[in-house]
Amino acid sequence: MEPLGSVPDVVDVAVLKRWHQIAPQELGLAGAEAGAQCPADVHERTPFPVSEVVNRKVALWVGDLTSLNTHAIVNSTNENLTDKSPLSQRIVERAGEQLRRDMLNEIRTCRTGEAKLSKGYNLPARFVIHTVGPKYNAKFRTAAESALHSSYWRVLQMLPEHGLATLGLCPIHSARRGYPLQDGAHLALRTLRRFLELHGDCVELVVLVMEGTELGMYEQLLPLYFPRTQWEEHMAQRALPKDVGGPNGEPLLPERIIRIVDKPFGGGESASPFSLGALKLLIRGSVVVGRTAFARMQGDVDRHGARPPADPLTRELQRAHRYERLLRRARMEDLRAVREARFLYEGGRDRKGRPVFVFVGRRFRALDPEKVLLQVLLALDSVAPVQPFSVVYLHTLAEEPPELGEVLRDAFELLEPKHRQNLHTLYLVHPGFWTRV
C-alpha cells in the first residue's frame, strides 16, 4: 500500500473524468454571477456549439505530467532543448539518459512553433513531443500568436501522423517568456477545439494537465470552447472574445485594404472628366518612347540577360527557404483527403526499429499533387531528423502519371541533407517507366 499523501508513479488516463462527465455545478459556475459579468452578446451564435463527441475527448487534470501513461506527453522547452523549467527538467530526468542523448545528438534543435518527436524511454508515456513557445513582445503580438498557434497545432498533428490516440498537454505558453497567460489559454483552447472538430476521429483523449496555478482560469474558459449545456453555449456568446481565429483557430491578420480612387487623374468629385486631348498632352510631355536607354536596340537580350548559375550556398538557402515555407503551410492546411486516401502511411518498423513509410502509387491519381507534396514533407519531417527510415513505393496497378515522380523527387530534394542521409533504403515494387526515369 502506498503511503498516505504519496504521488503514484503512474496515472492511468482511463480513470480520469472526461469533460462531459463534470457537471457545471462541480466547478462552481453560478449562472447569475457569470451572466452579470457579461451583459451583452458578442456573437449572434456561439462559434463553438455543444458537442458531446468532442467533450468526450477532453479531460482537465491537476497533477504531474510525467506520471501520465498517455501515448505522448508534451515538453515545452527552448530552441536548444535545455530549458530549466521544473516540468521540463522532470521530464528529462524521469525519461533517463537515453532521452538526453537523443536530444543532444538526434534532435539537437527545435525552432519556435515547431514540434519534434522522441521516445519516452523510462516515462510512462511512450513518446515525448518537444515544442518551443514564443517569447512575447507587445510590439509583435501577431507574430507571437501565430507562433504559439503553430506550436499547439503542430503538437496535435503528431497524433494522427504517428497513430497516437492519447496526449498529455501542458500549457506551451509561459509567463517566463512574457506571454499573457489568459491570452495564451484562449488560443490553446480554441486551437484544441478546432483540431478535434477536424481530426477527432483519430484522437481518443487529450488531457489538459495543470499544476495548480492555471486551474481556475481553465475551469472558467473551458465551458466557452467546450460547452456542455445550452446555458454554457449561451454564455459563450457573451464571454468569448470577438476574435476567435480562423478555421484552425489560427489568429487572423487584419485585412489590408487598398483604396483605388475612381478618377486617379482628378482631384475629387468636382474635377472635370479626363479628356483624350489631356491624355495626348500627358503622353507628349512624358518619356518619349525610343529615346531612352532601355528602349534602344540591344542585340541579343537573352545573351545579355543570362545569369550565371547560382552558387551552391545560394541554392541551399533557396531550398531551405522554400522547405520552411511549405512546411508552415502544411501545418496549417487541411490534408485530411490525402491522409484518408492512404496514399502515404507509416507501415510499421523493420527489424532494426526503423520507421517504414509506404507510398501506394495507384491512389495518387485522385489527389491534388500540391497537397500530396505537403503531406509527404510533413510526414518525413517528423521522423527524418530523428532517426533513419525506409521507404517502400508500391507501383502495382498504378497508372503512369509523371506528376507523381515529380512530387516525390521534389519532396526528397527539399529535405535537408542530414534528413536525406537518414533515408536508409528505398524499395520500388513493380516499377513502371516513369518510376525508372
Per-residue confidence of the chain (437 residues) as pLDDT tens digits? 445 444 458 999 999 999 999 988 654 444 434 444 445 667 878 889 999 999 999 999 999 999 999 999 999 999 999 999 999 999 999 999 999 999 999 999 999 999 999 999 999 999 999 999 999 988 888 889 999 999 999 999 999 999 999 999 999 998 888 899 999 999 999 999 999 999 999 999 999 999 877 888 999 999 999 999 999 988 888 889 888 888 999 988 654 434 444 444 444 444 444 444 444 444 444 444 444 444 454 555 444 444 454 556 666 677 777 888 888 888 888 888 888 888 888 888 888 778 888 888 777 766 787 888 888 888 877 766 567 888 888 877 666 555 666 777 777 777 766 667 778 888 888 766 555 54
Say if residues 211 and 173 touch (Cβ distance below 8 Å): no
b/e map of 273-305 (b: 16 or more CB within 10 Å)? eeeeeeeeeeeeeeeeeeeeeeeeeeeeeeeee
pTM of the model: 0.59
Contact partners, residue 217, CB within 8 Å, separation at least 6:
181, 182, 185
Nearest to 404 by CA among 366, 367, 433, 364: 364
pLDDT at 318: 76
The CATH number that domain 13-239 falls under is: 3.40.220.10
356 - beta bridge partners? 348, 390
pLDDT at 259: 43
Q: Which CATH architecture has domain 322-436?
A: 3-Layer(aba) Sandwich (3.40)
pLDDT at 192: 97
pLDDT at 7: 47
**Residue ranges of domains in the chain:** 13-239, 322-436
Say if residues 199 and 159 touch (Cβ distance below 8 Å): yes
